[in-house]
Amino acid sequence: MQALVGIDIEVKAGEFLSLIGPSGCGKTTLLKSIAGLQPVEAGRITIGARAVTGPGGAEASLVFQDFALLPWATALENAEFGLRLRGVPAAERAVAARRALAKVGLAGSFEQAYPSQLSGGMQQRVGLARALAVNPQVLLMDEPFASIDEQTRRILQDDLLRMWSEERKTVVLVTHSMEEAIYLSDRVVVLSPRPGKVHRVFEVPLPRPREALDVRASGEFARLVDELWRILKKMQ
């Protein structure tokens, strides 16, 4: 059985795009295909000029729902992991990893902490730092805040937006939170299940920087979430 058919999406450089849809719509499969972890049977995925043929490409980094931190490694060693696999010398690696940790708000004493000593939110900050440390063009995020409590999630969402506007990375985010999709994205791609295909592409015309403008409290935000909900409800 095919998980996905007829997916034709073009993500612009620097764009923040979300994938949403009921479970079984293949949104995570699609993200993993972009990361090269899931081979595609037909069709093509390109990042810039390069076709994705397998995992480990330098253009894109993944951020995982369960953080996927090495429990035996400190925050700094975890942030260095991608660079280490690429054979970057130790000194250079430490500098880049420290810079990435600082970007996600984990400078200083947290560097030497093991994942078990960090809260879920801080663990995902390390996961984000690991992805940023290799300096990819594209961040692929697989429900990164799904297992984090509501208050921390909001703070992380704001920090992500701030980081994104500074770094101008392209972000593709899988989520099942409608609020999260609307709050963060330029566009939301709604996928329908069995087999997964693009149901609707939803523009989010909310002004930026949203984290500074208190967009969550606006009527327009509520209206867009409601509109997205109407689309998703029809698919249930």
Partner 1 sequence: MKFAAVQEPAFGRGGLAAIGALLAVWEILGRMELTIFVPPASAVAEAWWGLVSTGTLAKAGASSLLSLAKGFVPAAFLGVALGLAMGRFRTVRYLLDGWINALMSAPLSALVPVLIALFGIRDTVVAATVFLFSFFVIVVNTMTGVRGTERSLVEMARAFGASEAALFARVYLPSALPAVMLGLRLGAVQAVKGMVVGEMLISLVGMGERLIYYGNTFLIPELYAVIVSVLLVAILSSTFVQTCERALVRWK
The contact set with partner 1 (CB under 8 A) reads 35-37, 55-58, 61-62, 64, 66, 68, 70-73, 81-82, 84-86, 114, 116, 130, 134
Nearest approach, Cβ of residue 205 and partner 1 (Å): 33
Beta carbon of residue 113, minimum distance to partner 1 (angstroms, whole number): 11
Q: Closest approach of Cβ 67 to partner 1, in Å?
A: 9
Question: Which residue's CB is nearer to partner 1, number 53 or number 201?
Answer: 53
Task: Match 């260095």 to its residue by tokens.
Answer: 80
Q: State in angstroms the smallest separation of the CB of 133 from partner 1.
A: 10
Taking the least distance from each CB to partner 1, the nearer of 65 and 185 is 65
Closest to partner 1 by CB, 32 or 210: 32
Taking the least distance from each CB to partner 1, the nearer of 4 and 79 is: 79
The encoded tokens of residue 201 equal 């592409």
